[in-house]
Copies of this chain bind each other. A is one copy, B any other.
Amino acid sequence: MGQVFAQETVNLEMMHRIKNEGMRNSQIQDLSFHLTDFLGPRLSGSTNLRNARNWTAEKFKEWGLSNVKIDTYGEFGRGWDVKKAYIAMKEPYYAQIIGYPKAWTDGTNGLVSDEVMLIEISSDADFDKYRGKLKGKVVMTPANLTVNPAFEAEARRWTDEELENRKTIPVGNMPSRWTPEQMAQMRTARELDAKLNAFLLEEQVGLRLTGTRGSFGTVFHTRSGSFSTDKKVTVPEMEIAAEHYGRIYRLIKNGKKVSIEAEIDVQWLDDDYAGYNVIAEIPGTDRTLKPEIVMLGGHLDSWHAGTGANDNAAGVVVMMEAIRILKALDVQPKRTIRIALWGEEEQGLYGSRGYVQKYVADRATKEKKGEWDKISAYYNLDNGSGKIRGIYLEGNDMLVPIFEKWFEPFHEMGANTITRRSTGSTDHVAFDAVGVPGFQFIQDPIDYGKGYHTNMDVYERMQFGDMTQAAIIIAAMVYNTSERAEKLPRKPW
């Protein structure tokens, strides 16, 4: 047993107090209601996200946190709000369609009512078949959407065996998922798709219908338009439920006429192109360690057709609750504790990367900035509302004995897996990329994969019991990091 391990101590009385505060005075459910039902979907740049920044900042002030600010990291792009969206089939009979405008798509200028044209492009030559014929038309392109019955449970928790497996790390080169031939085919398809997008725009198509994965009324969604400030106009585009897409597609392929009526009304917001993070602190109290920082956070933005509940109101609520617990306990931390609610994560980690670029380090030039050697750790939550089962160490071997010790008081809550593995796609990578310890926790998946990035990522998806556990553990991790004699050991950068 090495010296590092021997040094680690855990203030068990504080762990006990954190558990009590988290269990007895939990604000999880009320915060969840406000972040989802009340504030609504929080697409980057949208009015709702602006409201969410203000609301969370006010809540931090109400709790007595310090240095609360809505902090810009630079430019993001245009805001976009949906003012109205409607789509239905008119022929061969009237039928409502579940469909949503893709993010940043343009409006239709009123109700469009027209036959649906199926555009089948498999080579460059196919464009000529349609050239000059699509102005104002409703079009759809083929999609291969397979919908199968769910013979396996759609929600689950990690088993002990699966958690144990998450500790193993593959050694050696991973085989490529694709053959060179497959990769060439995919490249060709992508190029053709880009040409198709340009063609539809040039032809001034009135509305494009796209199918999405998901089934039974759940619609996954993305963006088609652009938030770029050059104000490029995009074709109005709606993503519709796989089954409704399939119905229209099959009818047309069988020679039946399909007509639809649809309307998209959007509002562009061009008064402020900046991106923002919401920041608040519990100032450190140790004369020496006070300038050092322990960070926790999650992204405040979401996609637009649900209310961004599991992705990522859940992470925001848990992190807010964690800092609320520490503030309520008046912990007087040695280091400063700082929460950050990131903007624009869904469009490419803008908020966290912008913060890192502004305050921590330049990833490209390796230039270190003021906070680079101040931040001990950044803790992130962004894998839904499932409880914490452990933590990914991003390959940092030196942390194993520390975190093993820190997790001990939470074994009975189901959290005991310390893995050297890395995990991707959340805001912690912005910190890890510049050598500052950044972490995402191992969370039970529940039905995260079924609902995230869909119209059904809403309040009902959130597991409040799980989130209560997560807030307690994160409060503990943040507290331990703030009190530790040294900052957490780092990988070389």
Contacts and interface: CB of A to CB of B under 8 A. Distances in A.
Interface stretch (A196-204, A366-374, A449-457): A449-457
A84 to B, nearest CB: 7
A447 interface: yes
A120 interface: no
A168 to B, nearest CB: 26
A278 interface: no
Nearest to A47: B93
Contacts of A38: 92, 251, 254, 256
Stoichiometry, as copies per complex, reads 2
A147 B309 CA distance: 14
A150 B243 contact: no
A217 B455 contact: yes
Name the residue in A147, A215, A447 with the highest tally of chain B Cβ atoms < 10 Å from its Cβ. Answer: A215
A243 B458 contact: yes
Given A84-B88, A100-B96, A217-B219, A247 B37 contact: yes
Interface stretch (A2-10, A16-24, A151-159, A375-383): A151-159
Contacts of A28: none
A332 interface: no
Contacts of A256: 38
The size bracket of the interface on A is 35 or more
Nearest to A455: B217
Interface string A66-110: 000000000000000111111010001111101010000000000
Nearest to A305: B96
Nearest to A386: B149
A216 interface: yes
A237 to B, nearest CB: 15
Contact of A459 (B93, B250, B305): B250
Contact of A82 (B94, B247, B251, B459): B94
A241 interface: yes
B447 A149 contact: yes
A98 B95 contact: no
Interface in A214-266: 215-219, 241-243, 246-247, 250-251, 254, 256
Top 4 A-B residue pairs of the complex, sorted by shortest distance between their CB atoms: A217-B217, A149-B155, A40-B93, A147-B460
Given A36-B247, A38-B92, A151-B155, 20 more contacts: A38-B251, A38-B254, A38-B256, A40-B95, A41-B93, A48-B93, A81-B94, A86-B88, A86-B96, A96-B455, A98-B98, A149-B155, A150-B447, A152-B153, A153-B153, A216-B217, A216-B218, A217-B241, A243-B460, A246-B460
